[in-house]
Structure 1
Amino acid sequence: MSTLTQDADLSQTPLYRSIFDHFQRLHGPALDRISDAAEPTACPSRPLLAFTGSHGANNARSPQWACDGRRLALLSDGADAGVYQVYLSDTTDAAAPSNLALVTSLPGTAEALAWSPDGSSLVVRMAELDADQAGALGSDVAGGRAGRSSSWSPSVHARGVIRGCRSAWVVDLATQQARRVSRTDTNVWELAWLGNEQLLAMVSATPDEDAWYDAWLAALDLRSGTWRELYTGSAQLGRPVAAPSGQAAAAIEAVASDRGGIAGQVLLFDFANGAAVVPRALDLNGVDVTYLCWTQEARLSFIGLRNGHTVAGHYCLQSGMVEEHWNSPLTCGPLLPEAAVTRDGAFAVVTEGWEQPPTLCEVHHGRTRTITDFAHDGTDWLRARVGSIERAVWSGSDGLEIDGLLCKPRDQPGQHALVLNVHGGPIWAFRNLWQMRSPIVALLVARGYAVLNANPRGSIGRGPDFINRVLGDIGGGDAQDLLAGVDSMITRRVADSSRVGIMGVSYGGYMAAWLPTLSRRFVAAVPIAAVTNWTSNHATSNIGRFDELFFRASPYDPLDPYAARSPVMHASSQHAPTLHIAGALDRCVHPSQAVEHHRALLDAGAESVLVVYPQEGHGVRQFPTYLDFCSRVVGWFERNMPPTVHA
């Protein structure tokens, strides 16, 4: 059994070297080839697909075909690391992009682009370099290192001081001229064309990450420069798209925890009569939609989650009928399901599963055709070690059905040391992803642990009623769902009751700090980027609006539930030994949250270790930091709850 040292440098320890070897065997064979893919996009005129591939430095993304299929626009930071600009490629004579050229230089970093329906213009969403990055992407700044101030420059905050704006720019490709079309008092979160002379946008009055939760849908007339508010929802809005003619539009509405993490119902806006529009919610067979695509005037395509499956289909505006093309326990998309739609209505998806590395496929009328897979010797090596996956189902304390994905070692009967893994959000979900898109999970299973990736109430894929059960009850019913999941694993003799640990990131990190205050069954805890004091977090987070919406209370009310559900207020000498992990650059959950809980546990007489990574934000994402992170997490569990029990 390895032990965790508390040294700053673990690189010479046997545990670190074994974990280094694990990742070298996994990733080494892929260093000279494309090993992953995302953002598929289909050529509208030819049987061609473009996608963003992982190969060395990731300095290009967001490929978009023009309507004639002869040009491909994309974003690249090849000229200045972290600062993306728009490039254009001619694909007339070759399937591969050629003659890649900068379109024009725009201020800030480009985050998204879209072609006008007639192919004459591009609209680009630009972010100032110091704009907040979404928590799901690391909670740094949009420009990365390029967006950070000089080492001596102060950070100034005051009412009326506005920084980090996002704006809309239209580029006329005939003249190569660009003009800003959004107002300085309007922040643009998402963009789409509404015909050739209007834009559809998610906007707010200020650019702070808090403002996203109350953003509204608006239309911008490019001729007059006037904005028209279309819809202010009762929840969050995202993924606006429009029919090619601009006569109809759609967007997703749902309660969402994080920008970029929206999954819910689709609202349809009909502009044919030109009057004020009241949106209509579409019945898409109970799918929590995560991605929309409008490729034909009367056909709206979608992909999303339903009861643990990924579902893709088309909605016919004329008949109101839904045609499902894919319903699979596999999934796609690194954050949430995404797809492209081909000329004949097939879906191009990068499918993956716990034991299936990413594979570019075409799915059509229930049939799947592999285009190319990204497996290699490293993925084959890991597949032989990651064990099995199964859907686990149990009942919450109120009888509500709860599920999760149980990953456990293959061919190892008997009761396992169990790690309860809790997802962030809370409105998110674990899906059947390659390595669960969390290499630490695969690493733990390869070393003999069972990992229960639980989806308690509040998780997506079960409809709005399931999500709404967490509102006003942070750390309540969802916490009991998680404890019931552990009990279920013990009852089924999957887990050894004396060797149960917990880990999680973001809201999952909160649960990793909170659940050991409710139950003594945990013998090790690893909260990562965790809220531990809801009141102080409200004051230090860039998304303080989040806790107000989810608690449905004020942090300044002396009788509020903030303190009652804060782990720091319940520190005890009986608390599970806890390894706190935080990123110094985290804007969503300030690293002081980990410091507070670490101090509270030490004051109470419990065991606690605090690790703060200086160049990480919300979660640990970069190598070689990730090697150190894995060494500490594995060491913590192996010390407190070894994967095997010696006689």
Structure 2
Amino acid sequence: MLKPARLLLPLLAALVSPLAVADTHRATDPRIDALLTQLGKVRDIGEVALSPDGHQLAWVVETNGKPGIVLADANGQQAHSVGLASKPGACSENGLAWAPDSRHLAFFSNCASSRTGMGGSKQPDIYVLDTQSQDKPVHLSSLNGYAHALSWSADGKTLAFLYVEGATRRASALAAAKPQTGEIGVEGIEVQRVATLPAQGGTPQEVTPADSYVYEFSWAPDSQRVAYVAAPAPGDNNWWIAQLYVQAVQPGATRTALVDPHTVSGPLHGLQIALPRWSPDGSRIAFIGGLMSDQGSTGGDIYSVSASGGAPVNLTPGIHVTPSWLSWSSPQSMLVMQVDNGKAELAEYAVHADSAQQQRVLFVAPGFVSDGTALLALSFSADHKQVAFDQSSFDVAPEVYAGAVDNQMPKAVTAINADQKPSWGKARSVEWNNEGFHVQGWLLYPANYDPSKHYPMIVNVHGGPSAADIPHWPSVGYGAAPFSTLGYFVFMTNPRGSFGEGEAFVQANRKDFGYGDLRDTLAGVDAVEKMVPVDDHRLGLTGWSYGGFMSMFAPTQTQRFRAVVAGAGIANWQSYYGQNLIDQWMIPFFGASVYDDPAVYAKSSAINFIKHVKTPTLIVVGERDAECPAPQSFEYWHALRALNVPTSLVVYPNEGHHFYNPANQRDVLQRALNWFERYLPPSE
């Protein structure tokens, strides 16, 4: 399905090669080079894991692009590198999992491997470290494929993990798609399964069915069963129709389907499910159900179902926040990370048989938090009295935070990126009302802001659409915050369809892509212009994925934007339906397939209104993007060229929806900065 783009590449090499498009690389502002260099110095913290007894803390931090493991006391003191690496940055180690005894730490490492894994890199294996001895980590098992999500059973006798034996790529729709050759949909399908390994080591056993792709799982308290979310292969496509299952942790065990969102009645019907979590007594399983556009971008209501079967119950109907992650703290309580008005917060819920009520908000995080296992996930001690996580915001680069679970935000216990200071302006939450909806967004002021001047503003629409802009430190890859450094206001909106205002708000742009959410965004622009000196004649628009679609669609509906950068966008929902590798996500949002209701897809297709576009547009995309295939960008670029609208298309070889090549991450941001500086100069 990506062949049209691949066939065009040789013919258009002079136009689309990242090394050849000199037009968008004209005289580079030295501030851009300085900014990219600054962002490149930040060391990413990929994982944080607190021991069950709350006494030890481990985290994974990158050195020279390689993840390595650091072990410390729970307050961050006595930090030292552990694992097999001769020195930080020499090889890759990650995938932290504490054993229930709080002494043994399991992880993946390729430091001693001589075997080649996917992508030509060394194959990681599973090791375990005794943190209370001076012994080297013990090799538990050799692997052949992609493995992640290590987790110990409650009795400490078994490790389980997600495993794609013989994998040729990362198991994610964000990763570059395999070349579309051979018999499509039949040959080369890779299936992710739950595999187990005895604590003393051995050969992994795959315990879930060979024809079922598992996305996430959770151990039962009895250590005999697992709950998991799974669907028929291929995995990239079918997460949107996944079901919740329970089975014994044995190969060939009969599984029980607990929840099928496509057959249940009530508010969960036709939606998605994620994050199954057993209650401490093993009697029921909680999960999050909602309209979700991407696996991993989790949000919705909290549901519960009996572990022996029955109808699922919506515990939080009508709430005006979006739960995104949860952990049972007792059979009658949960700690929930939720999005509220563009902010991440930890709340305590009292749980009853048919409801869960928020009791109090324990803390509101200044920025985005995670322990590396899921978005907004936290690492708790077994008694839920201690917590640890990684956090960054617009003001503070990533650090590890840890402390007691009480009514205040834990403090940072590391200073890994303490020397990094923002070169962009201050951030401000902006709220407004539009068409009966309460809407929120984040406004970044220009660096060195002078209130006596008028400034251009770049509007950024997040991906999803089921997601939310939450403050975070930008990376070298594509993002909105860096534009502030060059003298722009940057407005990051959370319009209808976003997390943070409740499930009804998320579902408000069903069958209406590009209309209500665009009106919300434009109303937000109006609100901002009443607050700060924005020049309405110097507005820009950008976004990636769904934000890329909006960057293509909005110029067909309004002439307010004078320059656009569209990342991994969608120009034509009708042709997109047959090109992408994840078409199952579309039916919950459009209400039917394109074959059953082509009109609803045509309504939101930019290509059908293309003659209205006058805006200079830079288009960027990965050559092997499975989520928003390159032909969509070609179609939009081709139309703009035919209409003599200034445009440039850059296709990045071997990249998927998420760019992994550091050179490409830097290049795409540099081109965007140059484009806006060319067509939307920050100086008056």
TM-score normalised per structure 1? 0.88
Taking the aligned partners of 1:179 and 1:336, their CA distance within structure 2 comes to 28
Q: Answer yes or no: is the 8 Å Cα contact 2:392–2:471 preserved in 1.
A: yes
Q: Hey, what does 1:116 align to over in structure 2?
A: 153
Equivalent of 1:415 in 443, 454, 464: 454
Taking the aligned partners of 1:479 and 1:287, their CA distance within structure 2 comes to 22
Which runs of structure 2 are paired with 1:623-642 in the superposition (5 Å)?
623-642=662-681
Taking the aligned partners of 2:298 and 2:476, their CA distance within structure 1 comes to 18
Residues 427-451 of structure 1: CA deviation (Å, up to 9, x unaligned):
1100021238966433211110111
Q: Answer yes or no: is the 8 Å Cα contact 1:420–1:453 preserved in 2.
A: yes
Aligned length: 614
State the 1:582 CA deviation.
Answer: 0.8
Q: Answer yes or no: is the 8 Å Cα contact 1:523–1:641 preserved in 2.
A: yes
Taking the aligned partners of 2:137 and 2:193, their CA distance within structure 1 comes to 25
Q: Hey, what does 1:54 align to over in structure 2?
A: 62
SS at match of 1:433: coil
Q: Hey, what does 1:68 align to over in structure 2?
A: 101
State the 1:112 CA deviation.
Answer: 1.5
Of stretches 434-443 and 39-48 in structure 1, the one that deviates more from structure 2 is: 434-443
SS at match of 1:434: coil
Q: Hey, what does 1:145 align to over in structure 2?
A: none
State the 1:264 CA deviation.
Answer: 1.8
Q: Hey, what does 1:368 align to over in structure 2?
A: 409
SS at match of 2:431: strand
Residues 378, 640 of structure 1: alpha-carbon distance in 2 compared, 3 angstrom cutoff: farther
State the 1:479 CA deviation.
Answer: 1.6
Does 2:302 align with 1:266?
yes
Which runs of structure 2 are paired with 1:7-22 in the superposition (5 Å)?
7-8=20-21, 14-15=27-28, 18-22=31-35
Q: Answer yes or no: is the 8 Å Cα contact 1:140–1:587 preserved in 2.
A: yes
Taking the aligned partners of 2:326 and 2:124, their CA distance within structure 1 comes to 24
Does 2:229 align with 1:202?
yes
Residues 92-116 of structure 1: CA deviation (Å, up to 9, x unaligned):
237xxx6223321234210212111
Q: Hey, what does 2:238 align to over in structure 1?
A: 211
Q: Answer yes or no: is the 8 Å Cα contact 1:188–1:203 preserved in 2.
A: yes
Q: Which runs of 5+ in 1 are unaligned?
A: 142-147
Residues 505-557 of structure 1: CA deviation (Å, up to 9, x unaligned):
00000000100110111110111000111111111101112222211133124
Residues 82, 487 of structure 1: alpha-carbon distance in 2 compared, 3 angstrom cutoff: farther
Taking the aligned partners of 1:44 and 1:51, their CA distance within structure 2 comes to 15
Q: Answer yes or no: is the 8 Å Cα contact 1:506–1:530 preserved in 2.
A: yes
Does 2:215 align with 1:189?
yes
Taking the aligned partners of 2:181 and 2:228, their CA distance within structure 1 comes to 30
Does 2:44 align with 1:40?
no
Equivalent of 1:487 in 526, 529, 547: 526
Equivalent of 1:229 in 257, 260, 273: 257
Q: Answer yes or no: is the 8 Å Cα contact 1:407–1:451 preserved in 2.
A: yes
Q: Hey, what does 2:76 align to over in structure 1?
A: none
State the 1:356 CA deviation.
Answer: 1.5
Residues 593-623 of structure 1: CA deviation (Å, up to 9, x unaligned):
1110011111122121111111321144532
Equivalent of 1:290 in 324, 332, 340: 324
RMSD over aligned CA atoms reads 2.8
Taking the aligned partners of 1:470 and 1:558, their CA distance within structure 2 comes to 17
Taking the aligned partners of 1:491 and 1:6, their CA distance within structure 2 comes to 42
Residues 376, 588 of structure 1: alpha-carbon distance in 2 compared, 3 angstrom cutoff: closer
Taking the aligned partners of 1:386 and 1:118, their CA distance within structure 2 comes to 49
Does 2:302 align with 1:251?
no
Query: Letter of the aligned partner of 2:450 in structure 1?
Result: Q
Residues 492, 18 of structure 1: alpha-carbon distance in 2 compared, 3 angstrom cutoff: closer
Query: Letter of the aligned partner of 2:443 in structure 1?
Result: L
Residues 478, 247 of structure 1: alpha-carbon distance in 2 compared, 3 angstrom cutoff: same
Q: Answer yes or no: is the 8 Å Cα contact 1:107–1:126 preserved in 2.
A: no
Does 2:387 align with 1:347?
yes
Q: Answer yes or no: is the 8 Å Cα contact 1:354–1:436 preserved in 2.
A: no
Residues 435-488 of structure 1: CA deviation (Å, up to 9, x unaligned):
389664332111101110000001001110101101121122112112222233
Q: Answer yes or no: is the 8 Å Cα contact 2:303–2:312 preserved in 1.
A: yes
Taking the aligned partners of 1:60 and 1:245, their CA distance within structure 2 comes to 34
Q: Hey, what does 1:511 align to over in structure 2?
A: 550
Taking the aligned partners of 2:415 and 2:299, their CA distance within structure 1 comes to 28
Query: Letter of the aligned partner of 2:133 in structure 1?
Result: D
State the 1:14 CA deviation.
Answer: 4.3
Query: Letter of the aligned partner of 2:414 in structure 1?
Result: D
Equivalent of 1:305 in 317, 333, 339: 339
Taking the aligned partners of 2:139 and 2:275, their CA distance within structure 1 comes to 27
Q: Answer yes or no: is the 8 Å Cα contact 2:25–2:671 preserved in 1.
A: no
Taking the aligned partners of 1:437 and 1:253, their CA distance within structure 2 comes to 33
Which runs of structure 2 are paired with 1:269-280 in the superposition (5 Å)?
269-271=305-307, 275-280=308-313
Which runs of structure 2 are paired with 1:458-473 in the superposition (5 Å)?
458-473=497-512
Residues 245, 203 of structure 1: alpha-carbon distance in 2 compared, 3 angstrom cutoff: same
Taking the aligned partners of 1:211 and 1:16, their CA distance within structure 2 comes to 44
Q: Which runs of 5+ in 2 are unaligned?
A: 1-17, 68-91, 262-268
Taking the aligned partners of 1:340 and 1:526, their CA distance within structure 2 comes to 37
Q: Hey, what does 1:327 align to over in structure 2?
A: 364
Q: Answer yes or no: is the 8 Å Cα contact 1:531–1:589 preserved in 2.
A: yes
Taking the aligned partners of 2:150 and 2:296, their CA distance within structure 1 comes to 16
Q: Hey, what does 2:125 align to over in structure 1?
A: 85
Taking the aligned partners of 2:362 and 2:520, their CA distance within structure 1 comes to 33
State the 1:248 CA deviation.
Answer: 3.0
Q: Hey, what does 1:172 align to over in structure 2?
A: 198
Query: Letter of the aligned partner of 1:310 in structure 2?
Result: A
Equivalent of 2:656 in 617, 630, 637: 617
Of stretches 51-60 and 561-570 in structure 1, the one that deviates more from structure 2 is: 51-60
Taking the aligned partners of 2:633 and 2:388, their CA distance within structure 1 comes to 42
Residues 352-398 of structure 1: CA deviation (Å, up to 9, x unaligned):
22112223222522133424234546512xx2x211111112232x2
Query: Letter of the aligned partner of 1:367 in structure 2?
Result: Q
Say which structure, 1 or 2, has more relative contact order (CA 8 Å, 6+ apart): 2
SS at match of 2:347: strand
Residues 40, 501 of structure 1: alpha-carbon distance in 2 compared, 3 angstrom cutoff: same
Q: Hey, what does 2:88 align to over in structure 1?
A: none
Query: Letter of the aligned partner of 2:299 in structure 1?
Result: A
Query: Letter of the aligned partner of 1:260 in structure 2?
Result: G
Taking the aligned partners of 1:19 and 1:546, their CA distance within structure 2 comes to 37
Taking the aligned partners of 1:11 and 1:641, their CA distance within structure 2 comes to 13
Taking the aligned partners of 1:11 and 1:90, their CA distance within structure 2 comes to 53
Residues 308, 615 of structure 1: alpha-carbon distance in 2 compared, 3 angstrom cutoff: same
Q: Answer yes or no: is the 8 Å Cα contact 1:505–1:619 preserved in 2.
A: no
Residues 606, 339 of structure 1: alpha-carbon distance in 2 compared, 3 angstrom cutoff: same
Identical amino acids, percent of aligned pairs: 25
Equivalent of 1:24 in 32, 37, 40: 37
Taking the aligned partners of 2:38 and 2:365, their CA distance within structure 1 comes to 30
SS at match of 1:624: helix
Which runs of structure 2 are paired with 1:446-457 in the superposition (5 Å)?
446-457=485-496
Residues 188, 512 of structure 1: alpha-carbon distance in 2 compared, 3 angstrom cutoff: same
Residues 187, 336 of structure 1: alpha-carbon distance in 2 compared, 3 angstrom cutoff: closer
